Amino acid sequence: MSSSSVLIQFLNGLAGASSLFLIAAGLSLIFGVTRIVNFAHGSLYVLGMYLAVWLADRVGFWLAVPLSMMGVAGFGLLIEFFLLRRIYRAPELLQLLATFALVLLFRDYALWAWGPEDLLGPRAPGLRGAVGTFPEYDLFLIAVGPAVFGFLYLLIKKTKFGILIRAATQDREMAGALGVNERLLFTAVFTLGAALAGLGGALAIPREPASLTLDLAIVSDAFVVVVVGGLGSIPGAFLAALLIGEVKAFCIGLGYSKLTLAVEFIVMALVLVWRPWGLLGKPGGAVAAPAERPLPAIPRLGMAGFAALAVLPLFGSDYALVLAGDMLVFTLFAVSLHFLIGPGGMLSFGHAAGFGLGAYGAAVLALRAGVPMELALLAAPLVAGAAALVFGWFCVRLSGVYLAMLTLAFAQIAWSVTFQWDAVTGGSNGMVGLWPTPWLASRPAYYLLTLALCAAGIFVLWKTLHSPFGLALRATRDSPLRAEAIGIDGHLVQWAAFTLAGAMAGLAGGLYAFSKGSISPELLSVPRSVDGLVMVLLGGLQTLTGPVWGAALFTWLQDTVARNFDYWRAALGSAILLLILARRNKS
């Protein structure tokens, strides 16, 4: 590369870093004070984009930016006042589910208000030219990031409000005991974080269109920056944004453009393996998982349910068998995730990696290597289990949100490989023509196979939980130091549990692939992992049967409501919020 090309890529990296910091700064503030992992932060960013595009046609771009920021701040204030302050004392996983419900609600609101098409924003007046070959607007963005960082640094270090933020970040309980008005502080911090998200979204419209599907992609970027920098650390977020922005820019400049889909997650994985709490973060505790209440009637209930499902082909239509098969597949997927989160105490944002790799493992063997369908299906859990064995070696050394984000990193790396490896995986087009062998070609036959294998997988997980291994896993979750003192190797136990859960998710993925006849990289995506979390949390972590009911309910709602109602995401999100508030009122 010539010196001029290096300079251009360096400036591109700075512009990207400023954008990343604007995304992540608000999320870091919110988590640092309230301890809420705000999945809806990407929606606030996208709302800023939509408002800026809409306002720019009416009041001009430069006035639209602050108005959009204030509009998003007001929206964030309403979210905090009417929802979040009611669940601050709820388990962390319920808070996560509540913010994901907000994502569903906002996406359908944006669909209703602005339509399904991407909206292009105007170019910034006065900054439409270039200095040499570098856009003037990108130079402006390079200045905005440090300016916002300087403002936040002075706010936190030099003002009374900043002292309260630091106190709550370091010891929220002690700050409350000293008389800090937690409600007012939380409201102010969440509103400020929302304003920063809105500012970032508004400033992005000259560079990219507002899109309904940006929310989860944006929040993934924000999580990466925050976790690499250290949860709750604004300087850490700024440093992480610079690191990731420059790495992405030089990957493009050096001709490794395909690597940019995964490079930020590779950076996050390397940082967390080297420094588990981020560049400037501090050690944090694990996300608490409530203890299960095992039901002695589970074997009898399971046998009765199995018998009822086994006779479904006698009177059910083909459509009923398809829906029931999907429910079974996602039940196994949800039960394997519950195995990690509940008894294992390991929160995962990337469990879809096992599901997708199982599906792709079976598909590649069947379509590329000509392996019989039966053997390809049996290989699905082996492929996913092998990947989980590798991923888990790194992941189980972390805990809490850091562990969750490392699972997300590995899932995104696996997704980027399947998305771009055209010769093997079909790339973005996926793989088609994946059908069962002739003796399983009929719908009832394949349904019964799905029932048998899913029941077997669930039974293996259930028996494991009630074995000495399951007791050791719970002991490691509840008291790692005591478990180690009595001779339990906690890391080894969690590593084995991580591998087993990944293998069962892979079995579910293989069954799903042969059921649908085609697969795509979407099977490994963040939304698929979030679907699994929703299934588990809908059913409840406290019971071993919770993920079964949660998966069945979620699959049925998604199918039934989506076919009959255009705004099914909003309906599902509303139902999730009602369930959360009802559970909170009972507790």
Digit-coded pLDDT (tens) for 330-344: 999 999 999 999 899
Start and end residues for every CATH 1.10.3470 domain found in the chain: 3-274
Digit-coded pLDDT (tens) for 77-93: 999 998 888 888 777 77
Contacts of 266 (CB under 8 A, 6+ apart): 259, 409, 413
% pLDDT > 70, the chain: 94
pLDDT at 302: 60
Fold of 3-274: ABC transporter involved in vitamin B12 uptake, BtuC (1.10.3470)
% pLDDT > 90, the chain: 48
Structure letter (DSSP) for residue 439: G
Average pLDDT over residues 249-270: 82
Average pLDDT over residues 389-401: 89
Strand partners, 518: 432
Digit-coded pLDDT (tens) for 49-70: 999 999 999 999 999 999 999 9
pTM as predicted: 0.86
What is the four-CA torsion angle of 75, 78, 79, 83, rounded to 10 degrees? -170
Confidence bin at 105 (pLDDT 50/70/90): very high
Q: CA end-to-end span of the chain, whole Å?
A: 62
Secondary structure string (H, E, C) spanning 98-143: HHHHHHHHHHHHHHHHHCCCCECCCCCCCCCCEECCEEHHHHHHHH
Digit-coded pLDDT (tens) for 432-444: 988 899 999 899 9
Count of C-beta atoms within a 10 Å radius of residue 241: 31
| Summary mean pLDDT of the chain | 87
